């Protein structure tokens, strides 16, 4: 199967954007990676497409180091990648091209079946440093909880708070040390773009959430950094900031709002489902030694 290294991402998307449109929710991480690669030169970054005999993409992979490579199978393979005819050939072709180009992966993230199959086929002998299960959710509509307070956009005066809470969020998620400070920098960048909101109650900020558009037309995206400091938990602030931010984005014209929940945090999953999010797929991020 032909494997193409995508060097002109805008041109590729102009020809093959339907691949992402057909799975707007499932390809949210891939779309974000492609947009990042298109906007700036990322050292060690890459994107590949594995196509069928007619040239139609069937599997995409992209990476923006230090993060894991993102895998996104096409619609014909996504429902049950492990048993789909031709899936092994896709992985073999991608793995061979990565090896040919001298790329050594630090990890892979994607739908569980696809990510596991890739590791088995293309990373034999590589030890796992960690694996993080994630649940992908989307919300076409939101049910607002009756939590006292209000959603407010964070301003420049909130940068120290935003950075601190982003670091605490990363530590709570048990991210590697190098990603903790990176999380603070990313949050500060979102703050500058107006993409960070706080939940205020009792005259003080109590929780935080951010977002990023991921759809090519900006009409859908992902909520991130939903965090409540330990001292403020069990008051409904996390659910409130996520629900009200999602509702605001939908009211502003987004088709859907997407987010990931920790696969081991059943409490968070119940909260998201209670406010209107529905489970779409299980993902896993495998970090390699």
pLDDT score of 124 = 87
Q: Are residues 202 and 142 in the same domain?
A: yes
pLDDT at site 180: 86
Q: Are residues 107 and 161 in the same domain?
A: no
Domain end, chosen from 60, 95, 126, is at 126
Residue 47 located in a structural domain: yes
Strands 128-139 and 278-288: antiparallel
Q: Could you tell me if residue 248 is inside a domain?
A: yes
pLDDT tens sequence across 55-109: 899 999 999 998 899 999 998 887 678 788 889 999 999 999 999 999 999 999 9
Together in a domain, 24 and 106: yes
| Type and span of the H or E element at 280 | strand 278-288
160 and 251 co-located in one domain? yes
Last residue of a domain, one of 126, 160, 182: 126
Contacts of 104 (CB under 8 A, 6+ apart): none
Q: What is the pLDDT of residues 125-175, one digit of tens each?
A: 889 888 899 999 999 889 999 999 999 999 999 999 999 999 999 999 887
Across 120-127, average pLDDT: 90
> For residue 181, is pLDDT > 90?
no
Of 126, 146, 175, which residue sits at a domain end?
126
Are 24 and 256 in contact, with CB atoms under 8 Å apart? yes
Which residue, among 227, 141, 247, 223, has the nearest Cα to 184 in the 3D structure?
Answer: 227
Q: Is residue 217 part of a domain?
A: yes
| Residues 15 and 96 both lie in one domain | yes
pLDDT score recorded for residue 140:
83
> In this predicted structure, what is the pLDDT of residue 179?
81
Give dist(CA 199, CA 221) in Å, integer.
20
Clarify whether residues 120 and 216 are in a common domain: no
pLDDT at 20 over 80: yes
Range of the domain at 120: 3-126
Look at residue 171 and give its three-state secondary structure.
helix
Residues of the chain with pLDDT > 90, as a percent, come to 79
Do 111 and 151 lie in a common domain? no
Q: Is the pTM of this model over 0.75?
A: yes
With cut-offs at 50, 70 and 90, classify the pLDDT of residue 197: very high
Q: Check whether residue 274 and residue 193 sit in a common domain.
A: yes
Q: Is the peptide bond before 268 cis (omega within 30 degrees of 0)?
A: no
- Percent of the chain past pLDDT 70, that is, above it, reads 99
């Amino acid at each position: 199967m032909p494997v193409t290294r995508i060097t002109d991402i805008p041109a590729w998307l102009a020809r093959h954007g339907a691949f992402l449109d057909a799975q707007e929710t499932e390809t949210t991480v891939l779309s974000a990676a492609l947009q990042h690669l298109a906007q700036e030169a990322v050292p060690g970054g890459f994107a590949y497409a594995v196509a069928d005999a007619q040239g139609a993409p069937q599997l995409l992979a992209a990476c923006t180091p230090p993060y894991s490579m993102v895998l996104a199978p096409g619609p014909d393979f996504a429902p049950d990648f492990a048993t789909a005819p031709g899936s092994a050939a896709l992985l073999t072709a991608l793995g061979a091209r990565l090896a040919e180009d001298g790329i050594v992966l630090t990890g892979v993230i994607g739908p569980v079946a696809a990510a596991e199959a890739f590791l088995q086929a293309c990373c034999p002998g590589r030890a796992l440093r960690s694996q993080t299960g994630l649940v992908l959710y989307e919300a076409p509509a939101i049910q607002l909880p009756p939590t006292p307070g209000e959603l407010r956009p964070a301003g420049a005066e909130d940068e120290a708070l935003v950075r601190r809470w982003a670091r605490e969020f990363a530590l709570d998620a048990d991210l590697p040390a190098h990603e903790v400070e990176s999380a603070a920098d990313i949050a500060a960048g979102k703050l500058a773009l107006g993409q960070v909101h706080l939940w205020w109650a009792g005259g003080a900020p109590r929780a935080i959430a951010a977002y990023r558009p991921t759809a090519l037309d900006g009409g859908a995206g992902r909520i991130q950094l939903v965090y409540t400091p330990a001292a403020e938990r069990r008051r409904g602030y996390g659910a409130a900031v996520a629900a009200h931010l999602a509702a605001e984005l939908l009211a502003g014209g987004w088709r859907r709002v997407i987010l990931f929940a920790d696969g081991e945090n059943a409490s968070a999953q119940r909260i998201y489902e209670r406010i209107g999010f529905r489970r779409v797929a299980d993902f896993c991020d495998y970090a390699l030694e």
